[in-house]
Amino acid sequence: MNLKSHFPIFDTHPELVYLDSAATTQKPRNVIKAITDFYESSYSNVSRGMYKLSTDATQKLRDCRQKVATLIGAESSQDIAFTYGATDAINKVAYGYFKPKLTAGHNIIVTTMEHHANLLPWQKLCKESDTELRVVRLLANGNLDLEHLVELMNEHTMLVAVTHISNVLGIVNPIEQINKLAHEKDIPVIIDAAQSISTHTLNAIDLDIDFLVFSGHKMFAPTGIGALYVNPKYQAAFDPHFVGGGMIESASFFETVYQDYPQVLEPGTPNIAGVFGLGAAIDFMDDHSIYSQYDRLELLTQDLRSSLSNYDRIQVLGDSTNSMNIVSFEIEGIHPHDIAYFLAGKNICIRAGHHCAEPLLNSLEISAVARVSLSVYNEHRDIELLLEALKACINYFE
Amino acid sequence: MNLKSHFPIFDTHPELVYLDSAATTQKPRNVIKAITDFYESSYSNVSRGMYKLSTDATQKLRDCRQKVATLIGAESSQDIAFTYGATDAINKVAYGYFKPKLTAGHNIIVTTMEHHANLLPWQKLCKESDTELRVVRLLANGNLDLEHLVELMNEHTMLVAVTHISNVLGIVNPIEQINKLAHEKDIPVIIDAAQSISTHTLNAIDLDIDFLVFSGHKMFAPTGIGALYVNPKYQAAFDPHFVGGGMIESASFFETVYQDYPQVLEPGTPNIAGVFGLGAAIDFMDDHSIYSQYDRLELLTQDLRSSLSNYDRIQVLGDSTNSMNIVSFEIEGIHPHDIAYFLAGKNICIRAGHHCAEPLLNSLEISAVARVSLSVYNEHRDIELLLEALKACINYFE
Amino acid sequence: MESDYLDLYHPRILELDKHPYHFKKCVEEPILIANNPFCGDRFKLFDKSPNKDYAALFFYGHGCAVSKASTSLLVELFEQKGLTGIRELADQFAKFIYKETDHCAEDKLLIFENVRNHPSRLDCALLGWNELLKKLH
Amino acid sequence: MESDYLDLYHPRILELDKHPYHFKKCVEEPILIANNPFCGDRFKLFDKSPNKDYAALFFYGHGCAVSKASTSLLVELFEQKGLTGIRELADQFAKFIYKETDHCAEDKLLIFENVRNHPSRLDCALLGWNELLKKLH
Ligand SMILES: Cc1ncc(COP(=O)(O)O)c(C=O)c1O
Ligand SMILES: Cc1ncc(COP(=O)(O)O)c(C=O)c1O
């Protein structure tokens, strides 16, 4: 089933071929409405108000926390902290949980395919704590070299940081297996689900997840909101980092007692409209069984990959047998920016560049790639238009 | 002129007497529309896109940065960093600028009337760096004791942190004078303008401001967005703190070169819709000359204060000659929560509690107060209804 | 709408707010501090019985009518029922307030029946009781 | 709409993209590295003249058609004009691209006239030139 009709952007721009959902997804009508309704008819701050607007908003925020918990199969809504995005969430885990625990001799493991958001915070922490940063290699086909991961892990490993889906290669990492391998050695794992939250059913308990982060704006929700799941066994060891109102037990000028997780991570007025939009996005995903679109989108992805591979001058990155929603490629002799610009002239939106994964691209000896990415509103026609346009592009730059 | 008709919430709830604008302001139509328009007809991520939706959004984000700069009289849009709120901004200044510079023997000065957001980060930093936290006393009338401030400042003082308007007392601090006193001793000042940004024209250059923060949601803009002004002379000394995509010059697995201020403070996808909403809020403020409402609101505030003072059993906090938009009070024998709840039953929204200023309340030997706060949509009728209801409240709990 | 809000205040709650049982500032170490960080409500419980067997309890502090009335009843019933009895009752009262049961084990606590329809005030009714469940074993 | 986008690519830009001037990987230390962190474009400039007087310059790297063509012309004009001349020209060219002036001091650079209407591509036209202004005094 095609969900395009639920996204007003395609009413405004019927010609739009939007193939940049890995950067951010478009928003369905009910998400936009949730925001508008809040501001137009029920706006208030949360938590400390006695009047109906405020108690309603407080209750709704609580409901949205439960929705996120349910979405990822967490035991309790109290396992969920709201953040301002995936980047914000990873940094808050880095500083609030790991930094105080790191010393020289420890190591942290990342993978070659991490987004800057799940690499740079660990790189920075390692530098500051004299901790070693270890990088899991890729196999020739782009997949993680799990044997290398096993080699890298030892009793001094404090964390494995891994993305669920690579935002460049589209490769889907076996997070259940990675969790198992790490947990055998009592090593916690942080999973960056920024790209997978809209495609993969995640169950925090079944998958035995330690830390998991994602951004709302890549799953049909507004900008400026994200979520963090922390397994109950790590919650007590969170230190306050950013501090302010709404997170204290008691405060004096010189001593403060902070509340526990998740409040300890949520100082200040939250992005309330963002939370409500996130809740509405989860409703949208439920109402339209988004995860049942998996097979259709996997097929589209395969189709796109194989069609691109048919061109002599096109080089597709990654593993054709293990890839979801994201396809990056190069065209010999045409710079990715020129490809993207040429397509933009035909109302086709793709993205070119290093996609915040510069170390990955360096390791592949590429400086930039063109990336096509799909979501539930895409259909076969979009791919046809793309392929036609790419043909024209190759001719144009001949 | 009354601006109420620009705020849709009062169409939905014509009876609503909203007197909680210090917690958060309602949203004008054009702000809501800016968000809706973006999601419905021009949504895209910023910065790295080649297609029109993305280049337009990037340009618009740049325009909004300029609007903030113009609003506070900054020299350049590059002096403005977007944050997720005032709390977020203060913490980012604390960790990104001050923390690396603090050592034992230093001191930081805060005032008795700070909101937790402008106290707890400094308290935490001081503890971690063995730095002394010094607290400026209040005079009997609630105003800052500036002589005490001068006594506290010495050559080891690294910062003075002060709110422009107290969110409990409504007192307006003489920030120009405080800046002068501090600058004579080469001490930077951070100004928390969360409560003043919608009432006071601020000019960063004329007032010689070092650091200034505010939240969008208290100035008619959406939740989850705020701004930070940093004087050019401090910008180069900002260290990266939270890190991720969109802020790097170049990155490898083990070394990263970060961009300068303001990008160094903006890792990850920003709250784009929030930024656009903030821009629209500034348009609203310009179009309706918000700052020219100052006199009307000051009169309303005075009126409210003196009417309340007429009741035997009501104790009004603060200085009646220096107070803006915010009036906190106690009623003998009736707990503030019961007052707020009673008023809620009459559609009147006020707030009760410690208002995230627990140390201030402790110093006044109060555990909670009732707070009434005004904004541009309030009118004399709101105060009349409030006073009537308070009379009924006193009778009810007799 | 107004009556919706005011049905919170059972006449007996208003009475107890004005005339709480054993409400007095004491010098001993409190046996319990009940604190709600969101609203600043805070009561201390003192055991002034010679044998420290909870036979003569007092409380003091600040709080809204609901939390004051409920802490007042806590003190009164604590004295009557002793530690085991009050813990049992606290468990049961919390269930009643959270609507996990409609049965209220103690008639005097029925004055909080309407609180159950005021989600933002549940904490007020349970302030001291919850602390008791957390701290006193 | 399509032509709006494609008018960026003056035929001579496309030609220079295919056949840039003195485009060759060199082993010496580059005298300039022009880098755009947002898109990954990156060119290195090398001085292979025996007297290190910019008489024989080469460049190498990755970039879009616009940045490649413009860096190619930078190299060619640099050789002709020497350091003072090229700095002057870079100043002037930047003003031209940013629409601070309509005058273009060098006819060969007129092929970038349309770039001025493509805000997202200004950086491409100026990549090497801006770096030159920053680094070489
Ligand atoms: C004076 C003052 N400073 C800071 C803040 C914190 O603002 P936010 O919660 O939007 O981060 C507030 C808001 O309550 C305030 O009143
Ligand atoms: C895999 C991955 N991780 C993290 C992020 C960062 O997300 P955000 O920019 O929303 O914080 C992204 C988005 O680009 C991503 O693709």
In chain D, residues with a C-beta closer than 8 Å to the C-beta of A354 are: 39-40
Q: Please report the pLDDT score of residue D1 as a whole number.
A: 59
> Does residue B1 register a pLDDT over 70?
no
Q: Which of A84, A243, A269, A272 to mutate to test the pocket of ligand 1 (most atoms within 8 A of CB)?
A: A269
> Ligand 1: does its nearest atom lie under 6 Å from the Cβ of B167?
yes
Indicate the residue type of B362: N
pLDDT average, residue stretch D99-115: 95
- Which regions of chain C does DSSP assign to beta strands (E)? 32-36, 41-47, 57-62
CA A229 to chain CA centroid, Å, is 13
Residue-wise pLDDT for B246-256, tens only, equals 999 889 999 99
Q: Do C37 and A259 touch (CB under 8 A)?
A: yes
> Does residue B89 register a pLDDT over 90?
yes
Indicate the residue type of C129: W
Confidence of residue C137 (pLDDT cuts 50, 70, 90): low
The answer to whether residue C63 neighbours chain B at the CB level (below 8 Å) is: yes
Question: A88: CA distance to ligand 1 center in Å?
Answer: 20
Residue of C nearest to B397 (CA): C14
pLDDT average, residue stretch B67-83: 98
Q: Please report the pLDDT score of residue A270 as a whole number.
A: 98
CA C133 to chain CA centroid, Å, is 12
Pick C37 or C83 by higher pLDDT: C83
> Does residue D50 register a pLDDT over 80?
yes
- In whole angstroms, give the CA distance from residue A64 to residue A84: 15
pLDDT average, residue stretch B61-81: 98
- Nearest residue (CA) to ligand 2, atom 12: A194
Confidence of residue B355 (pLDDT cuts 50, 70, 90): very high
Q: Please report the pLDDT score of residue C41 as a whole number.
A: 85
Q: Please report the pLDDT score of residue A49 as a whole number.
A: 83
Sign of CA dihedral B134, B139, B142, B146: negative
The fold for domain B4-25+290-397 equals Aspartate Aminotransferase, domain 1 (3.90.1150)
* Tokens of residue B386, six digits: 């409030």
Contact C86, C108 (CB under 8 A): no
- In whole angstroms, give the CA distance from residue B214 to residue D19: 53
Measured in Å, how far apart are chain A's first and last C-alpha atoms? Answer: 39
3-state secondary structure of A160: strand
> Does residue A2 register a pLDDT over 90?
no
Measured in Å, how far apart are chain B's first and last C-alpha atoms? Answer: 39
Residue of A nearest to B27 (CA): A39
3-class SS shares of chain D: helix, strand, coil, % to 5: 55, 15, 35
Q: Select from A119, A116, A113, A213 the least CA-distant residue to A169.
A: A113
The answer to whether residue B273 neighbours chain A at the CB level (below 8 Å) is: yes
Q: Which of B9, B12, B256 sits opposite A120 (nearest CB)?
A: B256
- Which regions of B5-120 does DSSP assign to beta strands (E)? 17-18, 80-83, 107-111
CA B211 to chain CA centroid, Å, is 13
pLDDT average, residue stretch B34-46: 97
Going by the DSSP 8-state scheme, the letter that residue C21 receives in this structure is T
Confidence of residue D36 (pLDDT cuts 50, 70, 90): confident
Confidence of residue D2 (pLDDT cuts 50, 70, 90): low
Cα Rg for chain C, rounded, in angstroms?
Answer: 14
Residue of B nearest to A13 (CA): B41
Q: Please report the pLDDT score of residue A272 as a whole number.
A: 98
Nearest atom, ligand 2, residue A87 CA: 11
The fold for domain A30-287 equals Aspartate Aminotransferase; domain 2 (3.40.640)
Question: A268: CA distance to ligand 1 center in Å?
Answer: 7
- In whole angstroms, give the CA distance from residue A139 to residue B293: 66
Going by the DSSP 8-state scheme, the letter that residue A172 receives in this structure is B
> Does residue D39 register a pLDDT over 80?
no
Q: Report the complex ipTM.
A: 0.95
Nearest atom, ligand 2, residue A163 CA: 1
pLDDT average, residue stretch C68-95: 95
> Does residue D137 register a pLDDT over 90?
no
Residue-wise pLDDT for A267-318, tens only, equals 999 999 999 999 999 999 999 999 999 999 999 999 999 999 999 999 999 9
Q: Do A342 and D5 touch (CB under 8 A)?
A: yes
In chain D, residues with a C-beta closer than 8 Å to the C-beta of B48 are: 38-39
Q: Where in chain B is the domain with CATH 3.90.1150.10?
A: 4-25+290-397
Which CATH code, of 1.20.1440.230, 3.90.1010.10, 3.30.413.10, 1.20.1250.20, is assigned to C2-136? 3.90.1010.10
Confidence of residue D37 (pLDDT cuts 50, 70, 90): confident
Instruction: Select from C62, C120, C134, C135 the residue whose CB has the most chain A CBs within 10 Å, as the one to mutate to test that interface.
Output: C120
pLDDT average, residue stretch A94-110: 97
Among B133-142, D1-10, D101-110, name the one with the lowest average pLDDT.
Answer: D1-10
> Does residue A1 register a pLDDT over 70?
no
Contact B170, B19 (CB under 8 A): no
CA torsion B173-B177-B182-B184 (nearest 10°) is 180
Segment holding A353, helix H or strand E: strand A351-353
- In whole angstroms, give the CA distance from residue B173 to residue B120: 20
Q: Is the previous residue joined to A262 through a cis bond, with omega within 30 degrees of 0?
A: yes
- Nearest residue (CA) to ligand 2, atom 15: A194
- In whole angstroms, give the CA distance from residue B44 to residue A51: 37
Task: Return the bridge partners of C23, or none.
Answer: C59
Q: Please report the pLDDT score of residue B2 as a whole number.
A: 73
Chains A and C form CB pairs within 8 A to the count of 15
Task: Return the bridge partners of A83, or none.
Answer: A226
Nearest-CA distance B364 → chain A (Å): 12
Phi, psi of C29 (to 5 degrees): -60, 130
| Catalytic site includes residue A356 | yes
> Does residue C1 register a pLDDT over 70?
no
In chain A, residues with a C-beta closer than 8 Å to the C-beta of B100 are: none
Residue-wise pLDDT for A58-73, tens only, equals 999 999 999 999 999 9
Q: Where are the domains of chain C?
A: 2-136
Task: Return the bridge partners of A211, or none.
Answer: A190, A230
Chains B and D form CB pairs within 8 A to the count of 15
pTM for the model stands at 0.96
> Does residue B388 register a pLDDT over 70?
yes
- Supply the mean pLDDT for chain B: 96
* Tokens of residue A195, six digits: 């790209």
Q: Please report the pLDDT score of residue C17 as a whole number.
A: 95
* Tokens of residue C89, six digits: 């009752």
Q: Which of C14, C61, C121 sits opposite B397 (nearest CB)?
A: C14
The answer to whether residue D6 neighbours chain B at the CB level (below 8 Å) is: no
Residue of A nearest to D68 (CA): A335
In the numeric block, the tokens 């290699």 are attached to: A137
Angle at B380 between CA B376 and CA B382, to 5 degrees: 80
> Does residue A97 register a pLDDT over 80?
yes
Phi, psi of B176 (to 5 degrees): -65, -45
Residue-wise pLDDT for C108-124, tens only, equals 999 999 999 998 899 99
